[in-house]
Chain A
């Protein structure tokens, strides 16, 4: 069975506007994600995490190498992925002219789910995330945490096979962020979706991720490990220290602790 997400020697460069040498965001990156896996990708700002995210979601295409999601090219087979990928962005990206309910129902609407059914599904997701009373509110009337909840509901509502999350809680205060992380992890367990979670927070990655991948610039894997549910606090602290070393550049060589 092919992996759910596959990167084969992928590089991605962006031309510069001033005509200078192209900026290489990803260099010769290879990795695979199996179905149902939750992978947290960590790295400093500008290390290519978001470029990796955009490649998986098919918003950009690689300069070299191959990206395959469920065996298909997410850029070339764009329409094939309708309803299969859900994305939670760093900012909520809600349409200001749609109510919370209509925003949650967007993916269902584009996937041609009948109106009554999509309203029912969207309302149930809003209820599940504690926003049932705000279904008819426009985004400007919601707090940052509530808006991000709506965007999480929007991503989950279509029952996607794959969830991509690009630092979705980074703009929230600690309390709201923690509450949403808990909800998010429970939702992931309940749906069994494959998830890629991009973050620059070690604590968040350790808290969420079953498998941690640390990128260094230009995006290549500098460290990778899989967390076990029965890991002791000391073992987790050791992983945390190792990630800190990698991110601070103290570990030069690529280390794989799988």
Chain B
């Protein structure tokens, strides 16, 4: 048992060290950026580089005002709803593509074509096609983030081990059991990666969509700051979005750590 305990202790210590190092390096990097910004604010006109305390004050104001909090939550909800929609539709598209190579040959070019369409074009199209603001933003989010979900799920499905598939089939599972016991765990890493990649994209797209068509949200607030030339407000609202993305990224990483804990790790990295 002593050996087993020792083997367990090493990875735990390693994980703790990795976590503390990550936090330490992140703090140092961000503090360095704040210092450089603060120094620049001493030599550059205020409307270009407002001081760090001023930005911090605006950030606190956002988090302590109900109206600002509502804008922040509205944008967060739009991002999550758009990603959830893209995930569902992307997965529903990926599964038949994985099962039918003929269908995949037709759908692939459409997805690649979609990849080439700028987010701003989808904004214009959504404004022309649809009435409701929320549906417009949802549509834009889905259209811009769907291909990444489809590609990731499709690749994960195709990479599924034939050996494991045959082994599971030998127990004669129902379709639902096959999905639950084999397919879902196989595609889960790909889905988590897609969420992480798409989260950053979605936060950029939602701002563009809100800039043009919304009467609330971070994008709308950024537009207000631009109109009054308030750089501190623009930076503070941008930071709100960054904080949201970092929090969700952290949650996804926690899920990933828990769900993929079975993976072996090498003590030496390449």
Contacts and interface: CB of A to CB of B under 8 A. Distances in A.
Nearest to B260: A97
Interface in A51-84: 57, 59, 78-79, 81-83
Interface stretch (B42-50, B96-104, B169-177): B169-177
A91 B172 contact: no
Contact of A106 (B166, B171, B263): B171
Contacts of A133: 4
Contact of A59 (B164, B166, B181, B185): B166
B172 A59 contact: no
Contacts, number: 57
Contacts of A85: 170
A158 B181 CA distance: 17
A140 B264 contact: yes
B167 A93 contact: yes
A61 to B, nearest CB: 13
B40 interface: no
A97 B261 CA distance: 8
Contact of B163 (A79, A81, A91, A138): A91
Given A106-B171, A110-B172, A110-B177, A95 B164 contact: yes
A107 interface: yes
Contacts of B171: 82-83, 106-107, 110-111, 158
Contact of A95 (B170, B173, B177, B185): B185
A87 interface: yes
Contact of B173 (A89, A110, A158): A110
Contacts of B263: 96, 140
Interface residues of B, number: 21
Contact of B170 (A87, A91, A96): A87
Contact of A89 (B4, B163, B177, B181): B163
A31 B171 CA distance: 25
Interface string B151-182: 00000000000011011111111100100011
A28 interface: no
B164 A93 contact: yes
B172 A57 contact: no
B96 to A, nearest CB: 22
B262 interface: yes
B172 A106 contact: no
Contacts of A96: 262-263
B172 A82 contact: yes
Which 7 A-B pairs rank lowest in CB-CB distance, beginning with the nearest?
A140-B264, A82-B172, A93-B167, A138-B262, A110-B171, A87-B170, A97-B185
Interface of B: 4, 163-164, 166-174, 177, 181-182, 185, 260-264
17 contacts: A57-B170, A79-B172, A87-B167, A87-B170, A91-B163, A93-B164, A93-B167, A96-B263, A97-B260, A106-B168, A109-B177, A110-B168, A110-B171, A110-B172, A138-B261, A138-B264, A140-B263
Given A81-B172, A95-B181, 15 more contacts: A57-B170, A89-B163, A89-B166, A89-B167, A95-B185, A96-B263, A97-B260, A97-B262, A106-B168, A106-B171, A106-B181, A110-B168, A110-B171, A110-B174, A138-B262
